[in-house]
Amino acid sequence: NAGVTQTPKFQVLKTGQSMTLQCAQDMNHEYMSWYRQDPGMGLRLIHYSVGAGITDQGEVPNGYNVSRSTTEDFPLRLLSAAPSQTSVYFCASSGTGGASYGYTFGSGTRLTVV
Amino acid sequence: EDQVTQSPEALRLQEGESSSLNCSYTVSGLRGLFWYRQDPGKGPEFLFTLYSAGEEKEKERLKATLTKKESFLHITAPKPEDSATYLCAVQAGYSSASKIIFGSGTRLSIRP
């Protein structure tokens, strides 16, 4: 049972490049979210999904796209990377009932945009 | 706008010295309030969910309480291994599909 798997763990991008951060879970969780964590700012919600085919925006969605074609996968796409997107990105999932039973988090992707 | 504020930003305690962390929130209907622990370089780890004012949850040296405006995480006789960042989060609204937002956390350091 792997839980929530994020790839890659580290990435360096040049300004303007695009990339996809991968997130997969094997717990059959309906609810999945992407957060970014910056020093002193806690976790900020980017996008979330309550099931396959359903996504919604969080607090800081600009510059990011998501899709949810399967229950297991929830990739995060950076369309044109900017230095302001340098951050640690966490994917999280939760079972039926939303996050009332607590999220399971991945180990994070540390992204640097130069 | 829904908001979560945690205080203090950082707290240094001596081993065995009990204290409390605060999480104040402003939401349009609280569905749940959550506490997480985060160790450096790792993702947050779930601790508790509280649903209504007056509710309490305990786990080892940690006890979480909830009022209509804030939650406290009480740490009794802490040990160095309790050193971590503690995060508070809330789910607002009346649907399990509503989003969850986090506070900025409290960095707790326990000296031996």
- Count Cβ–Cβ pairs < 8 Å, chain A vs chain B: 79
Among chain B residues, CA nearest to A107: B43
Phi-psi domain of B68 (left: phi exceeds 0; alpha: psi -120 through 50; beta: other) = alpha
Alpha carbon distance B74, B62 (integer Å): 6
Q: Provide the 3-class DSSP secondary structure of residue B80.
A: helix
Contact: B89, A43; criterion CB under 8 Å: yes
Alpha carbon distance A71, A29 (integer Å): 7
**How confident is the model at residue A2, as a pLDDT?**
75
- A97: pLDDT strictly greater than 60: no
Q: Quick one: A11 exposed, middle or buried, by C-beta within 10 A (0-12, 13-18, 19+)?
A: middle
Query: In this prediction, what percent of chain A has a pLDDT beyond 70?
Result: 95
Contact: A103, B91; criterion CB under 8 Å: no
Question: If you average pLDDT over residues B11-33, what whole number do you get?
Answer: 94
Contact: A108, B102; criterion CB under 8 Å: no
The DSSP annotation for A8-68 comes to -SEEEE-TT--EEEEEEESS--SEEEEEEE-TTS-EEEEEEEEETTEEEE-S--TTEEE--
Q: Which segment of A5-9, A98-102, B37-41 scores lowest on mean pLDDT?
A: A98-102
**Which among A45, A103, A106 has CB closest to B101?**
A45
**How confident is the model at residue B28, as a pLDDT?**
83
B38-97 pLDDT per residue, tens: 999 999 999 999 999 999 999 999 999 999 999 999 999 999 999 999 999 998 876 767
Alpha carbon distance B22, B60 (integer Å): 19
- B12: pLDDT strictly greater than 80: yes
- Other CB atoms closer than 10 Å to residue A75's CB: what's the count? 16
Contact: B87, A43; criterion CB under 8 Å: yes
